[in-house]
């Protein structure tokens, strides 16, 4: 389960960036096409955050949908599935969003 390693990277990155002694909320962006399961990250978070400035912090996860443009017909479509199919039948879709895996904000104090 790579979510444990990913969650560890998230916690490390936040602690690197923020020097405050107590972080009360962490906001992430995990796109629907990112290959990372938000529920697994939630499951790992308490464990990994324990004993750090993030201990007890609330975790908010925003999940941007997949969005892309079909190279065959030009149609722009939304999809939540990593198998991307345009209504025209083409699988050749250029993905514009949905692959996000980012830390976007924290609350401190």
Partner 1 sequence: MCGTCGCSDADGVRLNPEPAAGSVPVRTIALERQVLAKNDVLAAKNRIWLREKGILAINLMSSPGAGKTTLLENTLRELGSTIPIGVIEGDQETLLDSNRLRAAGCRAVQINTGAGCHLDAGAVGEALTSLDPPDGSVVFVENVGNLVCPALFDLGEHRRVVIASITEGEDKPLKYPHMFQAAHLVLLNKIDLLPYLDYDVAGFSGNARIANPSVDVVPVSATRDTGLEGWHEWLRANLTQVLTA
Which residues make up the interface to partner 1 (CB under 8 A)? 1-2, 5-6, 9-10, 12-14, 17-18, 24-25, 27-29, 35-36, 60, 62, 64, 82-83, 85, 91-92, 101-109
Instruction: State how far the Cα of 30 lies from the Cα of 35, in Å rounded to an integer.
Output: 9
60 binds, among partner 1, Zn ion, none (CB under 5 to 8 A by kind): partner 1
28 binds, among Zn ion, partner 1, none (CB under 5 to 8 A by kind): partner 1
58-62 vs 23-30, strand pairing mode: parallel
Q: Is 73 annotated as a binding residue?
A: yes
**Cα Rg of the chain, angstroms:** 17
User: 25 vs 50, which CB is nearer to partner 1?
Assistant: 25
Query: Strand locations in the chain, DSSP E?
Result: 23-30, 58-62, 66-70, 76-79, 93-97, 101-108
């Amino acid at each position: 389960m790579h979510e444990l390693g990913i969650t560890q990277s998230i916690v490390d990155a936040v602690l690197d960036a923020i020097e405050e002694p107590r972080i009360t909320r962490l906001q992430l962006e995990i796109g629907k096409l990112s290959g990372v399961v938000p529920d697994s990250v939630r499951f790992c978070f308490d464990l990994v955050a324990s004993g750090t400035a993030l201990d007890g912090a609330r975790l908010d996860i925003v999940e941007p949908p997949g969005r892309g443009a079909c190279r065959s017909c030009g149609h722009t479509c939304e999809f939540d599935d990593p198998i991307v199919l345009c209504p025209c039948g083409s699988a050749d879709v250029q993905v514009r969003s949905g692959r996000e895996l980012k830390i976007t904000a924290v609350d401190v104090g």
